[in-house]
Structure 1
Amino acid sequence: MTSDPVEPRPPLLSYAALFLQFLGFGALAFGGPVAQIAMIRRKLIDEDQWMSSARFNRLLAVLQALPGPEAHELCVHLGMRAKGRIGGVLAGLGFMLPGFVLMLVLAWLYFSIGVKSNWMSSAFIGVQIAVLAVIVRAAHRIGLHVMVDRSLWIIGAVSCAASLLGVSFWLILPAAGLTYALAQRSRRLAAATLFMLMLSIGLAARYGFGGPSAPPVAVAGVVPMTASVAALFFTGLKAGLLTFGGAYTAIPIMRADATRGGWIGDGQFLDGVALAQVIPAPLIIFGTFVGYAGGGFPGALALTAGIFLPAFGFSLIFYDRLELILENKSLHALLDGVAAAVVGLIVATVLQLGTSMLRTVPYWPLALAIFGFALAAAYRWRAQLAIPVTLVLAGLAGVLSF
């Protein structure tokens, strides 16, 4: 009889060494979560053996079921495994700090200097078109993992339509989760009734009391309104708690608040998403840009803190209990329904952003050509720097085209 192998443990590190280790990961965090996780795995699991490969795989499965940026949550968890809760905080801060500082500088340059020349305006239009293509590819990729049966497809489609009609995601997401949880218990009629009832309440709230009101729209290059620090923190917290399947799922949530508040335009919003994809950082760091648009440096700090608070909290509070919590089958169904609704919200947001761009693109046949190129690159090009290079090329195409 052989005993089970001893689970590896991280080496003894000082707090400073731990922070610098994850600061280095943050400085090289190009290519999105897959590339970021692969980098961390290669160094800490394959080379330094902080834990076994099997435990790492289980940990990833748990983190991917939770909301928030999984690469950042992984860093927090590994830091806590090495040096306790202080280590978890230091690891998480180290990983996010390079991207946060870079995005803060870029946001300051963007809103202080602005886009003053014609060629810069044309370049940003090209980049915005490419970002839409990248989001389309992300929605498809997330959907392939989420939409595993017909009920989830229906939930996603209805959620998309409801969002386009103006129903708040605060109603759509819980309705979708509860609906799928009921459907999994063979209570399909009750599930359908609940879903339609909650969406009807949303439509009544949107259109039944004085008619729909158009939200203020920010003109390109101008920020007409600001938001309170508390409101920006709450926007970030909502995004952090409701981000399932990757940072792209935070886009409809943040855009909904930004559009309602009128403190960032769609073109500026897409520019922020684009900038987040060309710097070493979790993609969710585009929230720093959105926060800066709404409230300057305090706003950027508040919205970023809100986004990353759940990512710190889940690992710091629950740690080894995460796997036990997510063994609950009802919770699985609830999360699956929410994830399907989020995919529908992303599709609705793409349609809304695309419609908004039609008003600003000088010549739409060339815009379609740039969109097609970016979409093909998103599907076919697998290199770590594929997205940043695609956005740069789209910007050059925008200069030549517009």
Structure 2
Amino acid sequence: MMHAHSPHPSAISLPQLFAKFLRFGLLAFGGPVAQIAMIRQALVEEEGWIPGSRFNRLLAVMQVLPGPEAHELCVHMGMVARGRIGGVLAGLGFMLPGFLLMLLCAWAYAAFIAGNAQLAGVLLGVQAAVLAIILRAVHRIGSHILVDRTLVGLAILGLLGTLAGIPFWILLAAAGAAHAFLRRPVAILGSVLLVAVAAWIGIQARGAPDAVVAHAAAPAGVLALFVAGLKGGLLTFGGAYTAIPYVREDTVGRGWLADGAFLDGVALAGLLPAPLVIFATFAGYLAGGLAGALAITAGMFLPAFAFSLLFFERLEALVDNPTLQRVLDGVAAMVVGIIAATFLELGPSTLERAPRLLPVVAIFVVAALVSWRLKGRWLPLALVGFGGAAGWLALS
């Protein structure tokens, strides 16, 4: 039922629109499910901006497109109200509180926390808990995406290919093309495997290790951080955790920050009122200061703005295209494998920093068991708090 004090979208002013979505951003705790429920309650059920059936169709579209669904829905609803300028203002309002809070967290982390020996145990405990959260996310995302044996096979190839050092863009392109244009599972998996092996051989022949070492020695640049964010924003399928491998590759992989700091950023992102991809702001700040944080955040959120702003009238028809749907399904399956590989790389990196292995493993196991058994918007906060407290008691 529409409230008298809430203006219909056709009557809302641009300042009112920005303030409304800024309020949503301030209350955006609990991850995408809670964020989407809040938007639906306010704009569909209370104020009647669009019918519930249309909102459901929009949500289905946003879930197969890359980018944080809640943010994309805000952009789209802003356009429903006041056109493209309304979409921009709605998207900025929703992301601004989380962005500013993450900037503050990144500054405090760099100034007071990083390198503090007294907090090393706390941070290791938090990182172990975050690894458990990531593992649970791999399972949860995979259960929705890997619905047949072909997609499971693509995920396994993504896992093995990533561990072998094959660039993710080759894996994603091969998976999307093969799944779109081939029909037999053997042909799909065989084609992806042949492309991946050929690419791996070509990379080895060009002497990739030397190139990587030279790349890592380069300082963090604003353009490079923008591209790192753009990769994450364009390739975030099935949830914000899918952005982790790409941002990690272009920050940790270049020697701009350590795996431990990267995991700390993911932990903080889960506690703030923001889409989880806001962890990119943290990584960008540690790698390149304020300019780096602005650049990587702009890249990460640009696709979420662009898809709605550019394809507003054709969005539902575009995603209903069966060939595009098969491309997205193949890419999403490969992404599941890439995230799993990233988890397997982060785990040993965390254990290497531990003065004693048993407490870290115990924290991870307990957090993993709890994340499998329980649900709720409070769960990430509770797991991170448990990891920090357990790490302080066992490792400090």
- Where on the TM-score scale, by shorter chain, does this alignment land: which range? over 0.9
| TM norm structure 2 | 0.94
1:3 corresponds to: none
- 1:271 maps to 2:264: yes
1:191 matched residue in structure 2: 188
Query: Tell me, what secondary structure is at the counterpart of 1:261?
Result: coil
| CA–CA separation in structure 1 for the residues paired with 2:267 and 2:278 | 11
- Kindly state the Cα deviation for residue 294 of structure 1 after the two structures are TM-superposed: 1.8
Alignment of 1:211-226 (within 5 A): 212-213=209-210, 226=219
Question: What does the per-residue CA deviation read over 1:270-313, in whole Å, with 9 as the maximum and x for residues that have no partner?
Answer: 01101101111100000001111221101100000001011000
- Could you tell me whether the CA contact under 8 Å between 1:216 and 1:260 is conserved in 2? no
What is aligned with 1:313? Answer: 306
1:247-396 aligned at under 5 Å gives the runs 247-396=240-389
Q: Give the Cα–Cα distance (whole angstroms) in 1 for the partners of residues 218 and 270 of structure 2.
A: 26
Deviates more, 1:48-57 or 1:69-78: 48-57
Looking at structure 2, the residues matched to 82 and 123 of structure 1 have their Cα atoms a distance apart, in angstroms, of 46
Calculate the aligned-residue CA RMSD, in Å. Answer: 1.9
Asked whether the 8 Å contact 2:220–2:287 carries over to 1, the reply is yes
* Partner deviation per Cα, 1:342-362 (whole Å, 9 max, x = no partner): 000000000000011111112
What is the identity, as a one-letter code, of the residue corresponding to 2:278?
I
Structure 1: tracts of 5 or more residues without a match? 1-8, 218-222
Give the equivalent residue in structure 2 for 1:40: 39
Q: Does 1:95 align with 2:94?
A: yes
- How far does the alpha carbon of each residue in 1:100-135 deviate from its partner, in whole angstroms, 9 at most, with x for none? 001011111111233354341111110000000000
Alignment partner, residue 50 of structure 1? 49
State how far apart, in whole Å, the 2-side matches of 1:290 and 1:194 are.
Answer: 35
Q: CA deviation at 1:34?
A: 0.5
**Could you tell me which of 232, 243, 246 is aligned with 2:236?**
243
The code of the aligned residue for 2:352 comes to R
- Counterpart for residue 83 of structure 2: 84
- Aligned-pair CA distance for 1:201: 2.5
User: Structure 1 residues 266-275 or 356-365, which shifts more?
Assistant: 356-365
* Corresponding residue of 2:181: 182
* Count of residues paired in the alignment: 388
Which whole-Å CA distance do the structure 2 matches of 1:308 and 1:392 have between them? 28
TM-score, normalised to structure 1's length? 0.92
Equivalent position amino acid for 2:163 in 1: L
Percent of pairs identical after alignment?
52
- Following the alignment from structure 1 to structure 2, what is the Cα–Cα distance between the partners of residues 331 and 146? 15
Equivalent residue for 2:226? 233
The answer on whether the counterparts of 1:10 and 1:81 sit within 8 Å (CA) in structure 2 is yes
**What amino acid maps onto 1:43 in structure 2?**
A
Q: CA deviation at 1:327?
A: 1.4
Q: Once the 2 structures are TM-superposed, how far is the Cα of residue 49 of structure 1 from its aligned partner?
A: 1.2
1:164 aligns with 2:157: no
Question: Do 2:150 and 2:185's aligned partners in 1 also have CA atoms closer than 8 Å?
Answer: no
Q: 1:4 — aligned with what?
A: none
Q: What secondary structure does 2:291 align onto?
A: helix
Q: Contact (CA 8 Å) 1:31, 1:384: kept in 2 or not?
A: yes
Q: For the residues of structure 1 that align with 2:55 and 2:255, how far apart are their CA atoms?
A: 43
Instruction: Deviation per CA, 1:198-226: give whole Å up to 9, x if none.
Output: 20132113322336459569xxxxx9863
- Structure 1 window deviating more from structure 2 (276-285 vs 174-183): it is 174-183
1:136 aligned partner: 135
Asked whether the 8 Å contact 2:170–2:196 carries over to 1, the reply is yes
